[in-house]
Structures are given as C-alpha cells and as structure tokens.
Structure 1
C-alpha cells in the first residue's frame, strides 16, 4: 500500500491526532480519539518492515515491523509547527523496496499561552483639554500562540481607574490597538490643578475577549496630566503706522497635538484681515495698522487635522492698535460764527472755537491748545477778544462791542497739538440789543368749536406778532407759549422762524368729559432777554377760546389683558377672575364672552365675574384665551397648573434589541416620558418587576434622570422576542407608578448592528412559470441523487463478494482514516 502513496501529510495537536493522506487519485482521512498518538502503515510485498528519517524531534517514531507511526512525547506548536519526515519500506535484507516518501506533520496550536505586555509598567502624558478619542499613548501585548487563530487575538480594556471622581471614566482604550485617549468627560474635566496623576489598570485577554476561558493579563498605566499648551495669549498691543519690514511676528500659539494645521477665523467680516498664522502657530501682522481706521481687532485661531476637522477649541486673539500723533487738528466749523449783543459786558463768554483731533482721545496726542493770531479790524483796539488756551472759549477782553464801530470782526485762531498746527477762522457778528417787545396783531382771536376726536396735529389757529428789533436775530425771533388755560399741555404752538407766524396745534387727544372749554391766554417773547428797563406788557398777550363738543365713546377696560393661573382640577363654578370696564359717558356696561370654544367659562354680564363652566384639562390646552366683549374686546388668559395625573411611559421611538448570540456586556438605553409638566416627571425611577425570570435574565442601571440601561445578565438567550416587565415611577407627590412590558428582540444582526428583516414569504410567491421551473429542477436533483446511491450499492456488493474478510477490514480502516 505504501507504494501507491506519493506523499503523506499529518496534522497533530495535543488533543487530537489526525492523518491526512493524499495521492493523485485518492484522499484519505484518519481520525483518532483524544488520547490516540499513533498511526499504522501497511506494507506491500516484498516489503516486511519500515524505516523513518527526517525531523523527528526525538518524539516521533515508527515501529519498523508493524508500520505504526507514533508520538512518544508532546508536540509544541510554539517550538516547531511542521515536522517533515520520510518513510521507506524494506525487504527482509533491509533493502529499500519503495520510498522514501515524504510525510508532513502539521502541529495544530491550542490556547496554552497567556498574553504578555511588553512593559511591566507604562507611563504616559496627556494635556488638559486634549481632543476626546485622540490617542496619547499605547500599550502592547503579545501572545505566543498561533497568530492566525483566535488564540492570539487580543482585546484590551480598562479594569480600574484610580481615582475616578466622576460617574464616567476620564480615559478610554481601543480594544484592538491598545490606544489610550481621553473620553469626552476626560477632555472636559481633566485639570492638573485638581488631579495631576491617574493610575489605570489595563487588562488584555486572548480569544478576542469573547470567552470566559480566555487568558488574561493586566498592567498598571501611570498617566500624568499636564497643563494645556493651547492658550490664548494676553492682549497684544501694536503701534500704528509701524515702519518695520512686514510681516512682523507678534505672538505664538501651540496646540496640544502635533502636526495640526493652524488657521485664522474672523469674528468681524472685514475687507481684509491684516494678520496671518504660520504652520508652526506664529501669528504675524502683515502690514502697518492705522488706529484711526480701526483701533481694535478680534479674531480666532483654529486648529484642524488633515481631514479638515477641528482639533482644539478656537482661541480668541485680541489686538489693540496703539496711537501715535499722526493727525493735525481740524476746525469743526470754518468759519466759526459767533453773535454778540452790543450790551454784552467785558469778560463775558461769547462762544467757543471747536476743533478736533483724530488721535486717541484723552492722550497728549489729541490735546489741543488755542491762541488768537490776529484780529481784523483792529478798531477801536487790537485786543478786543481773549481765548482760553485749553478750552477754546472766546471772551470779551475788557469792554462791550458797538455795532457803530464795526458790525463784524474776523479772527485767526491758531490750534496746535504737540506736533501739528491749524488755523481756524472766526467771525464775530455784533447784533442789535433786544429793546423791542413782540406785539400781537390781535388782542383776541375769538373762538373755535371742535369735536373731541379731532386728530392730533390739527392746526386750530394761526397767530402773528411783530418785533422791531433787527430781523433774523435772537432779539427779533418770537417764541409763542400758552400762558394760561391749558393745564395738561394738550396744545402746542410752533413758530415759523422766517415770518414769526405761530401755529396752534392739538398736541394730545381732546376729551369733552375732562375739559369741554379752553380759555387760552397766549404770550409772545424773544429768545434773547430784554435789556434792562424794558418789560413785556399786554401788547405781547392775546386770548383765544376753544369749545370741545362731545363724541359718543365706547367703554374702556381697566386692563388690556387679564391673566390668572389656576389648577386644572378646580371645581365647576369656581370664580377665576373679575374683569372691569367703564363707559366714559357714565353709562352702565354689560359683559359677554366670545371664543370660548371649549365652553369652559361663563361670565356674569353685570359684574364681569368669570367662573368655570366645565372641568378644565391642561393636557387638552395649557393656555386658554377668550375674548371679553363690552362694546370693545380684551383678552382673558387662563393658565392651568398641572397636577400629576399621567403615569410615566416607555418611549417607543426606536426598537429594543440585542444581537444574537448574546456575548455578554451589551446594554441598550431606554427612555421614560410623561405628559405632565417637568416638575412631576423630571426624574424617573426604573426597576424590574419582582418576577423570577425578569430578575434572573435582566438588570437595569441608572443613566440619568430620564434614561436607564437595560442589560442581559447572561448569554443563554434564544433567538426570539422577550417581554421585560419594568416598573416606572415619577417624582410627583404622590408618585404615579406604571408597569410596562418592554418588548426586547434577540435577533441576528447585519454588519450595521441592526436586526435582519425576514421577508414575508406570502408577498413573494413565484409565478406559474417560475413554479414549473423550480419543480423540474427539484426532480432532476432527486433523480441524480437516487442514481448515485443505486450505483454505489452495486459497487459495494461486487467488492464484498470478491474480497476476503481481511481485505474488507483493511478497506474499512482506509475509509475511516
């Protein structure tokens, strides 16, 4: 038999010895029990013995006479995975009959090596505010088992976290790569001022961590928290109009992560931003700045990764442009015109020369000083005027001016700052003194009758007075006022400055009931005071009478809107509020409701008292508004106070399921909701019903006030839908309780971790042609199978008749091998 075997392959493990024997025509498999460690070869004449050579490792041998190949020790995959041997058959003289033929033994690995970390202790550094999920260190373990099998597939996890001041861990680990990074909580809370050192106990399991029989090792990871490098610099000050060669480095920022891309982000949309940032985080000003154009700049520095995603929180950069004296004084009016009455006494302040400087306010750069350079004409003296050096206030130096000497004076005023100077022109006009009083053309303008609803702004009367002083001056400009008869300032008088004509207008709404008649006394005065010994008299007064007629007015509510708050469970016929209205003419009023679509309210038509007419229900309408009508409308708003009358429910926005088979450690988030106000449902309690199956199979853990985690307690679940009884309580007083049966599916999942959806076969019945084709295919397959079976039965009968019993036994061994 050895002569017909060109090669031999044997796969052995600690538990099972197996032989795979191939030739060009046949393939044989021999299986042995757990403890079997031998295999037999059968010689063909004239061979009477066997001899083996090759990589025997001292534990593989063959009995020469019987041809039994056996193992007299333990194979070790970690020491040698493949043993290559040669087998020869020998005759009685020891000569080779056949062979040598190769025999290859493949040693199968078993999980007999625990994973080992490549360091006894790990040390890492993380920066405050580092990006969540961004690794700052790695742990690494190796397993000497076969890397192509699950025996060497490792899974990392964090066993312990010292200290752990928050409910969630501050660090996380990638179970495949061993990368350690801050969690979202850690990214937010890590602070070296509060805790600068953490110790993580990191575990590694082989078998991909999916079986309880996996080997486990652990190691301490010491993490030091350091202050964030990503900090905004203090306010940056830059002198305007700098002559340095630009760009100029003004500051620097540094991210916690290397290799980021720095960019500027404008807070203000400017035509151009005169700043830039380099790839190393250096901030530059790209051109000279002008404080008068813009004195402050605010922008942000952002960091992005290679995918364009933000890495750090944006840093705000604040720039203040410092002033230099680069602007001359500017005259606000050129010329500045000042009027002076003839009788103005010496030393009087007659006006101010106004000038500005665009340099920074309240600095020496914008400090201005004033000086009179010249006066034209220089008559009757050259120094008729004096100017305050730091204020620009212009005064008469010693005597009054006379229009007979000169009607105008022209001054040159020098205005200087510490670097620049400007000349401002000033004209002083000498005006006539106010020695004439206004005189009305009429002493009585009779009367007028108007309705009380006349529009505001309506002109009721035009009046005219004249003044003998110089036209166009403060001495001749007339100001009209209602001196008597209008205590509430209902009327106003406006003056045309060119004609001195006055217009009496309605300033506020007239009201017959309050003021049916106005007996007005109007006076006329000047803007400038009269000279001594001249007084206003009756010539500057006139009278006018206004009669106001009544117009029927609708009732008026005391308040435009009435609001109140009540509980939804108050009894019917409860008084909720009283509305009040009055009629300006004193007539009685009656009340009614409009828009009471739910018929919850009724109103006493005489008193305005509003009562409930039916049971209220906040869940149907929380804010209830109706109209109260008393010839005009106002709003009544009823705000219902909630009571705890709705039990909590489980939100059903998404299905609850676990992927089959359950491996342990899974959990899903469930949410409780309640129709009541947040005061009653802002905190829920989740518990399992006191039922044996529920407590043996499931467990519930709190997540927050409205959510909880549901987890299976073991992995022995069938692929079906379970009903989990859950008790929900809200935080009302008293609390409401609700038992709900949550449907939880254990189902095969797709690669996206969602349940496969079984196709409804009734909706996918084949057509008649398809059914015939399927039937014919099935018949052909059945016929082929039956033909093969009959043929093999015939062949077996022939062999049994032609072979002796020993040959049959050998053939059976061949088949089993």
Structure 2
C-alpha cells in the first residue's frame, strides 16, 4: 500500500511537470545516457523514458543504493533520497523495457549518473595541536614546520582548495607578526621582523592560532577550522666567530684550523663568499663548518681579510644569513730598513756654525707602523776623509737628523765627505750612503755691469709677458751654488708689481717683463730701482751696497682706447605696464683718454626702448608686453665723440614682470558636441587658458549670463582650475548648432573677464560616438573656394552614380537572383530580431 502511494505521489509530480519536462526535452526513448546530479537535495525527478509497443513497463538494476528507482508504467527515473558524492561519486545502472509478460523488449541500456559535489564538508587538521622549534636569527621565509589539513569534498573543485592563515599570535609584542604561513602549503617560517627580533632571552614560547578555509578562502560561505601551534624559540647556533688573529709568515703545515661555525639546519653545504674580489682567497671551509687558512699570509701584502660564510641547501638556495668573518694578520719583524734615496746629498757652507742642523737621512721599514718592528735607529759607521778630524758629524739616533759637531768645515782641507750610516731595527740593519758637499761661503755680493739702463719707451697696450729690458750682474762666489745665484727684484718704483724679473740660472742674466697691463692715464712714467741679491745669506761683515743696484725709467705712451663700461652686464626688472617714456636704468661708461662718450642701442628689434645719447639713461619708447617676450636683451654701445670707431658694448637685460592684462579665453581644439537624440546626463569638457603668468596654478571661474534662454537650456559645473563641464538641462534639443554664451573670469588682480560664444553641435552620431557630418550652421554661405570644392564634389558623385547605373544594367540579370536571395535573408533576420 505504501509503495503504491509513493508511485501515485511521483505520478502527481510527473503530471504537474509535464509541460516543463516537454520544454526542456527531459523525455525520450530508451538509450545509453549520462546524467550529472548534485549531491543532496532529496527526492528529485531525473528523466522519463518513453515506451515503444509492445513495451508496457520499465525496470532499473545496478548501483541504485536503494536511492535511484524508476516508475515501471511511466518510465520516470527518479531519486527517492539524497545522493552523496563522498559515498559514491558515480552510479552505473541498467534500464530495460518489458512487455506484458515481463519479457525484455529493449535493453538493457547503460545509464550513468555522475554525482556533483557540493561544499558540505569542513576542512580538518591532521593534528589538534602542533609543536615546532625555531632558532634565533633564522632566515626569513625559511620554513621550520608545517601544518596540514584535508577536506573530503571533491579535490578537483574549489570545495577542497584550502587556504591557511594565522588568526591569532600570542604574544604579539610588535606591530608586525613574528611568524608567517604559506597560505597554500601550510609552511610556517619567521617573518622579516621575526628573523630580526626573535630572542629566547626575551620570549621563548609563542602560540599561533592557525585557520584553514576551503573554497580557496574566496567566499564568506567557506568552511573554517583552526588549530593551535606551539613554537619554542631556541638560541641560534649560527654565530659569527670573534675577530681572528693570524701571525704572518707562519711555518705551520697548512691548511690550519682557525675557527668553526655551525648552522641551525642539518645537512647544509658550507661555502665562502668574498666581500672584495681578490686574486685568490687564502681561506677555505669544510662541510663541518671548520674554517682554515690555506697558506702563510704576508701582512705587508695584505693586513686584513673580510669574507662571509654561507650555507646552502642541495638546490643551491641560502639557508642562513651570511656570517661575517674578519681576519687580522699580525706583524712580525721580517723587513729590513730601506734607504729612501740611494745617495743622500747635503750642502754645507764652510762657515756653518758648530752644532748646526745640516740635513736629514730618511729611511723606511715596511713592518707595521708605530711598533718595535718598524722602529729605526741611526749611527754613523764611517767618515771619509777623516780630516781634520774623524768625528766632524753627529746623527740623532731616533730621527736621522745630521748635525755638525763643534768644529766648522774648511773647503781647502776637504770639499766633500762620504758617510756610511748604519740604520737598524730590532732584527735587521742597513747601510745608507750620505755625501756632504762643502760649499763656498757667500762673501761676494752681486755687481751690476751697468748701473743706469736709462729709459725704455713702451705703448700702454703692450701685451703682458713682453720682455722690455735685459740686465746683467755678476757674482764671484762658487758657481752653481746659492752663494752665486742672483735674484733680481724691483726695490722701488713699482708698488703694484706691474713688472717682474726672471733669472736665467746658467748665466744669471735678468729679463724684465710686463706683469700687469699698463695704463697711461694711471701711470705714464715708472722710475725703477732694481737690486740683486743671493738666496744664501752673506757672511758677517759683508753687506749689499750700491753696486748691487741699477736704475732705469719706463715711459708709457698713450694709445687711444675705447670707452669702458662700469659693468659688463646690466640687469633690470620692469613691470610690463610701465608708461611710455619711463626711465628704466642709467648705464655709465668713461673714456680712458677723457673724450666725451655717446650712447646708442643695438638689437632693439621690438623698438621698446630709447637711450639718451649723452647721459646713458634708458627709457621706454613703446608699450612693453611680457607675453611677447619675458626677457628682453639689447646691447648698449658707448663710442668716443671724436672717433666713433672707438667703441665698446655692454648687455642690458630687462626682466619683464607680469600684470594681469590678458583676459582668459577658450583653449579647445574643437567645439563640443552631443549626440542626437539626447538621453540625459551628457556633459562636455570646456577648457580656458590665459597668456598672463599664472602664480602657483591657474584658476578660472566659469559661469553663464543671466538670461532665461541660456539658463533654462544649459548649466556649467566646475571641474578644476582650468576645466568645467557644460551640460544640457533637458533632452529636447534640435539637430543643429547652438551658440552658448559663457563668461570666464581669471584670478588676476584685478581679475579680467571674457564673454565667449561657444558653438555646441547637436548631431547624429556614428557607433563610435562621433558626428556623421557637421550640422548646417544657420546663415552659412560658402566662400568661392568652398563653392568650387562643392561643385567638384557634386560632379564626382554624379559620375559615380552614372558608372554604378551602367554597371548594374550590364549585370542586371546576374544580380537579380542575388538581390532576391539577400532580401529573403534580410527579411528572415528582421523577423528574428523583431
């Protein structure tokens, strides 16, 4: 009875859905079929098989799981319960039709039902609680543990695509989390902040609440699960060693173990990385982290080494942050003293006093500075000749400074001495050679061959560096010494160093040269006194006298020179609205010879200026305009009244400052248009510009005049300082050109206003939202040139039409059929779209 009621219930469902089933084609003859049915959902209709005589009923067998059944009389395949993808994702059935006696008429046919998964299972972690250990200073992004979750839904759909995240972080002492999680793999690693701040001395345990969402975490309807992750922070094993000290030139058998490092991770590959590109790095590291020096080091070649120890995994990726290793090479005394010069030569006057400092022997040591290894000591080992005594010289033990002893030298006894100086450090010694030349005492003064060189005439424009006189003095002291070399100087008559004297070191001849430009007007005559001296001081009792002096005069002749301006460039800032005949600036020039100066202008291409030829006062000659030229440059010419060819020029630069003298205007490449018919909400950009200088940024105000016609049809809204929107206030516009008056104000002081008639085109538009053709403007008459163009265009169109007619007549019969077929297709398409 219950089964009959169920069948009757399904028949009622079937009867109610007949029209719907027919529309969706869910009935049909018996054949092999596939169906996709979402899981869950309860009792549902799947399909209705139609019977063919003599069949009167249907039967279903196979993987029905008691859920899938068929109404024998009607052939309705239905579900009497819910499918479950997780239990069975595919059901394979056999359906057959039977006659009145129960014999098979058709079939069995295979019916396959694919169960579609729905998101009905939340993800689950494989552990309730996770524990992990991380080392201090671990590399950011390097995973130290994983969490894992699964989802029973279909893995090929987003239902089982899982996303991990950290929901809570206890404690969280910083603005950023110290840990991060890969949202796909569940890998947990230190963040950049964590790599820097994790410290077991401050906090050795953290608890993370990790969540997992299905649906790839992309929807609010995703299922979520969570688990606790307990993380213990341990001290880092990966620490840089202290500074390593290695003594140079070691005799140990190399390589030598100098330090060891240990990674936080197992099974890493250790390697060295150079900070500086050396020819070779004399260090190595083995796979236990032991660092070796591979050869003896030389401090004098290189005294410090800096490199890094790195760890990599088998894929070559860095595991730990690189460790900095610093090595200092310690010095040993392995370098002898070195004489700075193969032979040190010193000159000493024969009357030099006892105890005098006569020179220094210089030596160096390549061992480390300011240590006992590089400390040098000096001692005289021998003196040749040893006359008149064997101890004429003394050397300071720690500085190498040489002195005379209490006796003076005598050139007649010995003119040269050779010293062997022993230079020692704590281990080595070196012999340095010193040669001492005994030179003549300066007991002779220079004497001029001519004491009066009379005079020299020179023009004031003579070039600097010209030799105007040669002079000669002689000295009977020993040649090629400081006692006989002569220095010439202007003793009197040249306070401004207008002249200079150079000496030929071979002949002691002097050359008097022009050192500065001459000026007849400033100094027409020079009365000069020259003295001759030696660089070496004279011996006591000998003095320079008049024999070491010479005199001569220099007469400077006048040369007509052009006027001279006080400035090379004149700059003046002027407001562009100054009245005509305003005094701008006064330029000044003088003539060195005292001639009267006349002024004129060159390069005044705009005729803006005039100059008073007598005073040099520059006036405005016409209205200035900054918008034409902001910086205006002319040349001012100053010429002698008596000789106009003698002239000079200077530059006058006017910097024009702006005033608000230009009203704003529209700055648009083409007038705005709106597509007809209007639909409402249209608006068009309008833009203004101003030739005046804009302070900081331009700012214009747009408005409409106060007339009813304009304000009823249009409105303006501000966009920014240079743009506004023009919008129609309704859609009842004709297809034509409208003149819309627009008022534009600038922000000058005082502001200027401009009223413009803006042409707005209401036109038919193409699919690209542009006008097909410009609407005919009212009261428009073509110009003669335009009329000729129109006439030619009309003739071309007529020719094209005649050619087309001729072509169609020739092919009329052939095209008749094609046009008929096209008409049929077009009519069919119109009926479909109607």
Name the TM-score class by shorter chain.
0.5 to 0.7
> 3-state SS of the aligned residue for 1:365?
helix
Q: Distance in 2 between matches of 1:47 and 1:305?
A: 73
- Quote the residue 2:92 is aligned against: 84
1:70 to 66, 78, 94: 78
1:542 to 521, 537, 550: 550
Given the alignment of the two structures, is residue 501 of structure 1 paired with residue 509 of structure 2, yes or no? yes
1:206 to 215, 240, 245: 215
Deviation of the 1:103 alpha carbon: 3.4
- Quote the residue 2:625 is aligned against: 615
The root-mean-square deviation of aligned C-alpha atoms, in Å, is 6.8
1:404 to 407, 412, 415: 412
Q: Is the 8 A contact 1:241 1:289 kept in 2?
A: yes
Larger Rg: 2
1:439 to 447, 450, 469: 447
Deviation of the 1:58 alpha carbon: 2.7
Q: Distance in 1 between matches of 2:77 and 2:104?
A: 18
Q: Is the 8 A contact 1:141 1:204 kept in 2?
A: no
Deviation of the 1:207 alpha carbon: 8.0
- Quote the residue 2:670 is aligned against: none
> 3-state SS of the aligned residue for 1:492?
strand
Given the alignment of the two structures, is residue 532 of structure 1 paired with residue 540 of structure 2, yes or no? yes
Deviation of the 1:154 alpha carbon: 6.5
Q: Distance in 2 between matches of 1:469 and 1:204?
A: 108
- Quote the residue 1:215 is aligned against: 222
Deviations 1:678-717 (A, max 9, x none): 99479xxxxxxxxxxxxxxxxx9xxxxxxxxxxxxxxxxx
Structure possessing the higher relative contact order (Cα contacts under 8 Å, 6 or more residues apart) = 1
Deviation of the 1:404 alpha carbon: 3.0
> 3-state SS of the aligned residue for 1:37?
strand
Q: Is the 8 A contact 1:114 1:206 kept in 2?
A: no
Q: Is the 8 A contact 1:159 1:203 kept in 2?
A: no
Q: Distance in 2 between matches of 1:577 and 1:308?
A: 77
Listed as ranges, the gaps of 5+ residues in structure 1 are 1-14, 648-673, 683-699, 701-730, 735-756, 759-767, 787-817
Deviation of the 1:483 alpha carbon: 0.8
> 3-state SS of the aligned residue for 2:457?
strand
Higher mean Cα deviation, 137-146 or 222-231? 222-231
Distance 1:357 1:30, change over 3 A: closer
Higher mean Cα deviation, 376-385 or 241-250? 241-250
Q: Distance in 2 between matches of 1:539 and 1:79?
A: 133
Higher mean Cα deviation, 549-558 or 388-397? 549-558
Q: Distance in 2 between matches of 1:601 and 1:223?
A: 89
Deviations 1:341-363 (A, max 9, x none): 22222112222222233444444
Q: Is the 8 A contact 1:462 1:501 kept in 2?
A: yes
* Equivalence map 1:249-288=2 (5 Å): 272=279, 274=281
Deviations 1:749-772 (A, max 9, x none): xxxxxxxx99xxxxxxxxx9xxx9
Q: Distance in 1 between matches of 2:124 and 2:210?
A: 14
* Equivalence map 1:22-421=2 (5 Å): 36-37=44-45, 39-40=47-48, 51-64=59-72, 67-87=75-95, 101-113=109-121, 144-149=152-157, 151-152=159-160, 192=197, 206=215, 209=218, 215=222, 217=224, 245=254, 272=279, 274=281, 292=300, 323-421=331-429
Deviation of the 1:414 alpha carbon: 0.9
Q: Distance in 2 between matches of 1:628 and 1:251?
A: 83
Q: Is the 8 A contact 2:26 2:48 kept in 1?
A: no
Q: Distance in 2 between matches of 1:475 and 1:508?
A: 31
Distance 1:437 1:44, change over 3 A: closer
Listed as ranges, the gaps of 5+ residues in structure 2 are 1-19, 639-646, 665-689, 699-718, 720-746, 751-767, 770-807, 809-813, 829-834
Q: Distance in 2 between matches of 1:156 and 1:198?
A: 16
Q: Distance in 2 between matches of 1:490 and 1:583?
A: 22
Q: Distance in 2 between matches of 1:346 and 1:603?
A: 79
Q: Is the 8 A contact 1:440 1:465 kept in 2?
A: yes
Deviations 1:736-756 (A, max 9, x none): xxxxxxxxxxxxxxxxxxxxx
Higher mean Cα deviation, 76-85 or 281-290? 281-290
Deviation of the 1:419 alpha carbon: 2.5
- Quote the residue 1:519 is aligned against: 527
Deviation of the 1:176 alpha carbon: 7.4
Q: Is the 8 A contact 1:233 1:253 kept in 2?
A: no
Q: Is the 8 A contact 2:488 2:531 kept in 1?
A: yes
TM-score (norm 1): 0.60
Deviation of the 1:371 alpha carbon: 0.6
Deviation of the 1:517 alpha carbon: 1.7
Deviation of the 1:263 alpha carbon: 8.8
- Quote the residue 1:721 is aligned against: none
Deviations 1:190-218 (A, max 9, x none): 96499999999988573884xx7853648
Q: Is the 8 A contact 1:19 1:29 kept in 2?
A: no
Distance 1:423 1:443, change over 3 A: same
Q: Distance in 1 between matches of 2:629 and 2:313?
A: 51
Deviation of the 1:541 alpha carbon: 0.7
Q: Distance in 1 between matches of 2:276 and 2:609?
A: 54
Deviations 1:630-664 (A, max 9, x none): 555556667789999999xxxxxxxxxxxxxxxxx
Deviations 1:455-501 (A, max 9, x none): 22222221111222222332222222111111112222222222222
Deviations 1:531-552 (A, max 9, x none): 2222211111111111122333
Q: Distance in 1 between matches of 2:522 and 2:693?
A: 50
TM-score (norm 2): 0.59
Q: Distance in 1 between matches of 2:319 and 2:389?
A: 79
Q: Is the 8 A contact 2:123 2:150 kept in 1?
A: yes
Q: Is the 8 A contact 1:274 1:285 kept in 2?
A: no
Given the alignment of the two structures, is residue 427 of structure 1 paired with residue 435 of structure 2, yes or no? yes
Q: Distance in 2 between matches of 1:643 and 1:312?
A: 68
